[in-house]
Chain A
Amino acid sequence: MTSMRAKPNQVSRRSLLRRSFMRPPTEDRNSLIGHSRVIPYLLSGPAIFMVSLLLAFPVLYAIWQSTYRAEVIGGETEFVGLQNYIDLFGDPAFLSAMNRTAIFVFGCLILGISLALVFAFALNKAGRRLRFLRGITIVPYLVSGVAAAVMFRLMFNAEFGQVNRTLEFFGIDGPEWFSTPSLAMVATIIAQVWTDLPLAVLLILGGLQTIEPSLLDAASVDGATGWHRAWYVSIPLITPQLAIATVWFSYGTLTSLGVVLALTGGGPMDATRTVPIHLYETAFVELRRNEALAIVVVILALNALLTLIYTTVSRRYDLRS
C-alpha cells in the first residue's frame, strides 16, 4: 500500500519541480526567483566564487604546478608534463611509503571503526546519569595532534610509560615501542586512532539514535539476541553513518602528519615513514616543491578513490534506500 501511494507522489513532485524551473517568469509574480532564472545564480554566485577561490583554486594550482620542475632551488621552473609522476612511481622510497601508508590507514580504520562502534553502542545504551560521557567523548578531538603525540610518547616510553608499567603489573616485559619498527607502527596507529575517534563515535551514535525502537522490539519478539539485533538490525541501518565515519578516518589518516612526525619522525628505519612524511621531507628538507606537489595530487586522488569506494559500498548495503 505504501509503495503504491509513494510512486505517484514522487512523480508528481518531480514534474512540479520541472514545471517550476520551466515556468515563465511572469507566472509567479510574488516570488523573487520566479521573476528571472538568472536571480538564483546571482544569489548563489558569490558563495560559489568564494568556495572556488578558497577550495578549488589551491587544488588546481597544485595540479598545474606539479607538471613543472626547477633544476635549481628557487630557479626558473620548466614544464615537464607527467615526468614528476613517472619519477615518483619509480622511486622505491615513495613506493615503500605507499605500502606503509596502506598499513597505517587500514590499521587505523579497522581499530578506529571497531572502537567507534563499541563506544557508540555503549553510549547509546547509557542511562541518563551517564549521558555526560557523550560530552567527554569529544575531548580527544580538542587536543592537537602534536600534543597527543607527546602524550603517547610518554605513555609508550619503555622505562616509565604507563603502557609498559601496566604490562609489568601482569608480569609481562614491556617492549621498546619506538625502537622496534613493527611496534612503532602499532603505537602510531593507536595514537592516530585516539585523535580521530571522537567524531566517528558521535557520527555512529547519531545513526543509532535514529533507529526506530519498534524495529529492535520486533527483532526481540522474533527471538533475536542483543548481538543479533546489533548485527542484523542496527549496523545495516547505520551504514551511511559508518560510511561517513570511514571516509573521515581515511581522510584523517591518509593526510596525518603532525601525529606521526611528533611521535616517531618516520622512524625507526623508516618504519613509520608514511606518504605525508615523505611529502614533508620532499617539500621542506629536500626543497623540491614541484615534486612535493605531485605527491599532494596523489594523496588527493587516493582520498577521492577511497571516498568513491566507501560511498559505493554504503549505497550498495544501505537497506533504507
Chain B
Amino acid sequence: MSIVLVLALVAFACSDDSGTTTTAGEAPATSDGASGTTGAPDTTGDPTTGEPVEITVWFAREYLPPDLFASLEAEHNIRVTYDVRPGDNMLPTMLDMRDVGEPLPDLIEDDSLTTPAYIAAELYQPMTEYVDRFAEEDPELFETVLPAVWENGTFDGEIWHASWQSSYDLIYYNVAMLEEAGVEVPFESWWGVLAAAQAVKANNPDMPSVFGTGSTSEDPLFYWLTNFGAPFDGAVPDLTSPGGLDFIEWAQTMFEEGLINPAYVVGEQDESQGAFINGGGAILQDGINAGLDYMAAPGFEYGDDGWLSTPMPNEESGEQMSVPRGWSIVSESEHPYEASLVLRYLMDPVNGVPRYLSGSSTPRSAAILADSEVADAQPYFTDEIREAFFGVSAQIPPAVNTREVGAILIDLRDDLMVVGTDESPEEVAARYQPLLDALND
C-alpha cells in the first residue's frame, strides 16, 4: 500500500512541477468575446476526422490571453494546452524530456538570447515559411508587428524565433529633485547622467543614493556597454575599446563620488524601486513595465509634482538595446503551421493588450502600443520613448555563452560599482578581457 502511495506521489510530483497545465476546453472563459483574427483558413483541424489539432504551448511568464485560447478552438479547431514554466530553465527541461522520450511542446516562449542554444540543441525548427504565410494571409495584422521581431530572430538567413516582446529600460526621475538641482532632461549621454547625479548630490549630500539600476541581472551591463558603443564579438564585449574604457571610467566615477548606491546595485529590484518611490533616489534606470508599479504607488504621482521618465542616453558611438523574449516552434512539432496560428493569435491586439497591461514585457506591436487603453495606463511611455523603442534594433547578444559572459560582467560591475578598485580603466580592461575572450575560444 505504501509503495503504491509513494509511486502515486512520485507520479503526481512529476506530472506538474513548475506550472499550471490546462487546456482551453477546461479553462473558464474569461473573455468578453475575444476573437482570434489570424486570417487563416478555418480548416486547420484534422480534415478526415474533424478532430481538433492539439497544440501545446509553454509560457515563460504567467501573462495569459484573456479567453485562454477558446476563440482559437472555435474558429480554427485548434485546441491549445498551455503551461506556465517561469523557472528560466526551459531548455534543460526540454533536453531532459527529449532524452527520456517525453513529448515536447509545439510552441514555447523563452528569452531571445537563448535561441542559438536551442538551435544548437536542435530543439527549434525554422519558421520563415510560416512567417511568409502570415504576411500573405493576414497582411493587416502582420503590418502591426515591428520588423525587429523577425530581424532579431533571424540566424543564417532563416527566422527561428519571433522576438515578440522586449524589456527596454528607461530613466525614471524625481522631478522636484532634478529641478532643484537645475538638471534638464533628456540626457544626451551617460556622462550627462553623471553630471545630473553630481548636481543632485550637491543639494542632498546626506542622501545615500541618487542612482540605482533596478536590477540584479546582467542586462544593465549589456545596456551600458551597447550605449557606450563597445563593440561585441558574439556576446563578448571589447572592454579595451574606447567605448569599453569609457564605460569603465564612468562606472568608477559613479562609485568613487558616491553617486550610485552599491546596495542597490547588488540588491533586489524592489529595494531600489522602494528607495526611488520614497524619495531615496532621484534617478533610477528601470524597465518600461516597472512604470506600472510606480503608477500604483500611493503618494507618488506621475507628473510634474512627482516622477517622469526619459529615454536612456547614448554615447556618440553607442546605440539603444533591448532584451527581447519571444516565441519559437519546437523541432518535433507535427503541426508547425497551427503553432504559427497560435502565435498570430497572441500577436493580435485583442489578446496582446490585456497581457501587456497585466505586466508582461512590452510587445513589439504598433497596434498594441497605440491602443488607447495602453496609452491611458502608461502615460510615462511618452512619444519620445515610443520613438526610441520603435527604433531599437540591437538586442542583448544572442549566443550560447551570453549568460557566461553576463556572469563575468557582473563581477566587473561589482569590482567597479560595489567594492571599488584603484586600477586605471586600462588595467581593469586588461584584467577582464582575457576572461571574456576565453569564452569565445
Binding site for B on A (CB under 8 A): 46, 50, 54, 72-75, 153, 157-159, 176, 178-181, 264-265, 267-270, 281, 283-287, 289
Contacts of B271 in A (CB 8 A): 153, 157
Q: Give the contact stretch, choosing among B54-62, B66-74, B400-408.
A: B400-408
Contacts of B6 in A (CB 8 A): 50, 54
Contact in complex: A267, B3 (CB < 8 Å):
no
Contact in complex: A179, B419 (CB < 8 Å):
yes
Contact in complex: B98, A74 (CB < 8 Å):
yes
Besides the contacts A268-B266, A287-B91, what 19 more A-B pairs have beta carbons closer than 8 Å?
A: A50-B6, A54-B10, A73-B117, A73-B120, A74-B98, A74-B120, A74-B123, A75-B121, A153-B268, A153-B271, A159-B275, A179-B419, A269-B411, A269-B418, A269-B419, A270-B411, A284-B92, A289-B92, A289-B95
Contact in complex: A74, B95 (CB < 8 Å):
yes
Contact in complex: B262, A179 (CB < 8 Å):
yes
Contact in complex: B418, A268 (CB < 8 Å):
yes
CB within 8 Å for A158 and B92 given contacts A74-B98, A74-B122, A270-B411: no
CB within 8 Å for A50 and B208 given contacts A157-B271, A179-B262, A285-B403: no
Contacts of B92 in A (CB 8 A): 283-284, 287, 289
7 tightest A-B CB contacts, nearest first? A74-B121, A179-B262, A268-B414, A285-B403, A269-B414, A268-B418, A179-B418
Quick one: closest A residue to B412, CB to CB?
Answer: A269
CB within 8 Å for A178 and B266 given contacts A73-B120, A286-B403: yes
Q: Among A50, A264, A267, A286, which residue has the most Cβ atoms of chain B within 10 A?
A: A267
Where chain A touches its partner, the secondary structure class is: loop
Contacts of B280 in A (CB 8 A): 159
Contacts of B216 in A (CB 8 A): 265
Chain B: residues with Cβ within 8 Å of the partner, total of 36
Contact in complex: B120, A179 (CB < 8 Å):
no
Shortest beta-carbon distance from A93 to chain B in Å: 10
Contact in complex: A72, B414 (CB < 8 Å):
no
Contact in complex: B418, A267 (CB < 8 Å):
yes
Mark interface residues in B116-133 (1 if CB within 8 Å of A CB, else 0).
010011110000000000
CB<8 Å pairs between A and B, sample of 24:
A50-B3, A72-B120, A73-B95, A73-B121, A73-B400, A74-B91, A74-B98, A75-B120, A157-B267, A159-B263, A159-B280, A176-B262, A178-B267, A179-B262, A179-B265, A179-B419, A264-B266, A268-B414, A269-B411, A269-B415, A281-B407, A285-B407, A286-B403, A289-B95
Contacts of B275 in A (CB 8 A): 159
CB within 8 Å for A179 and B121 given contacts A46-B3, A74-B98, A268-B414: no
Q: Select which of B89, B123, B263, B401 is within 8 A of A176 by beta carbon.
A: B263
Shortest beta-carbon distance from A118 to chain B in Å: 32
Contacts of B208 in A (CB 8 A): 158-159
Shortest beta-carbon distance from A308 to chain B in Å: 30
Contact in complex: A179, B263 (CB < 8 Å):
yes
CB within 8 Å for A178 and B263 given contacts A269-B418, A284-B92, A286-B403: yes
Quick one: closest A residue to B271, CB to CB?
Answer: A157
Give Cα A167 to B266, complex, Å.
Answer: 22
Quick one: closest B residue to A262, CB to CB?
Answer: B268
CB within 8 Å for A268 and B419 given contacts A179-B262, A179-B266: yes
Quick one: closest B residue to A284, CB to CB?
Answer: B89
Contacts of B290 in A (CB 8 A): none
Shortest beta-carbon distance from B130 to chain A in Å: 23
Binding site for A on B (CB under 8 A): 3, 6, 10, 88-89, 91-92, 95, 98, 117, 120-123, 208, 216, 262-263, 265-268, 271, 275, 280, 400-401, 403-404, 407, 410-411, 414-415, 418-419
Contacts of A179 in B (CB 8 A): 262-263, 265-266, 418-419
Quick one: closest B residue to A282, CB to CB?
Answer: B404
Give Cα A283 to B6, complex, Å.
Answer: 28
CB within 8 Å for A158 and B263 given contacts A50-B6, A72-B120, A269-B418: yes
Give Cα A269 to B404, complex, Å.
Answer: 15
Contact in complex: B95, A267 (CB < 8 Å):
no
Shortest beta-carbon distance from B387 to chain A in Å: 35
Shortest beta-carbon distance from B432 to chain A in Å: 12
Give Cα A284 to B404, complex, Å.
Answer: 11
Contact in complex: A267, B263 (CB < 8 Å):
no
Shortest beta-carbon distance from B350 to chain A in Å: 36
Give Cα A25 to B154, complex, Å.
Answer: 76
Contacts of B415 in A (CB 8 A): 269
Contacts of A157 in B (CB 8 A): 263, 267, 271
Shortest beta-carbon distance from B356 to chain A in Å: 28
Contacts of B407 in A (CB 8 A): 281, 285
Contacts of B404 in A (CB 8 A): 285-286
Shortest beta-carbon distance from B101 to chain A in Å: 14
Contacts of B414 in A (CB 8 A): 267-270
Give Cα A181 to B117, complex, Å.
Answer: 33
Shortest beta-carbon distance from A218 to chain B in Å: 47
Shortest beta-carbon distance from A104 to chain B in Å: 18
Contacts of B262 in A (CB 8 A): 176, 179, 268
Contact in complex: B121, A72 (CB < 8 Å):
yes
Give Cα A284 to B93, complex, Å.
Answer: 10
Contacts of B263 in A (CB 8 A): 157-159, 176, 178-179
Give Cα A181 to B420, complex, Å.
Answer: 11
Quick one: closest B residue to A158, CB to CB?
Answer: B263
Give Cα A286 to B114, complex, Å.
Answer: 11
Give Cα A281 to B218, complex, Å.
Answer: 14
Give Cα A73 to B95, complex, Å.
Answer: 9
Contacts of B121 in A (CB 8 A): 72-75
Quick one: closest B residue to A280, CB to CB?
Answer: B89
Contacts of A54 in B (CB 8 A): 6, 10
Give Cα A280 to B78, complex, Å.
Answer: 38
Shortest beta-carbon distance from A277 to chain B in Å: 11
Shortest beta-carbon distance from B421 to chain A in Å: 10
Give Cα A159 to B95, complex, Å.
Answer: 44
Quick one: closest B residue to A265, CB to CB?
Answer: B216
Shortest beta-carbon distance from B44 to chain A in Å: 30
Shortest beta-carbon distance from A146 to chain B in Å: 12
Give Cα A72 to B95, complex, Å.
Answer: 12
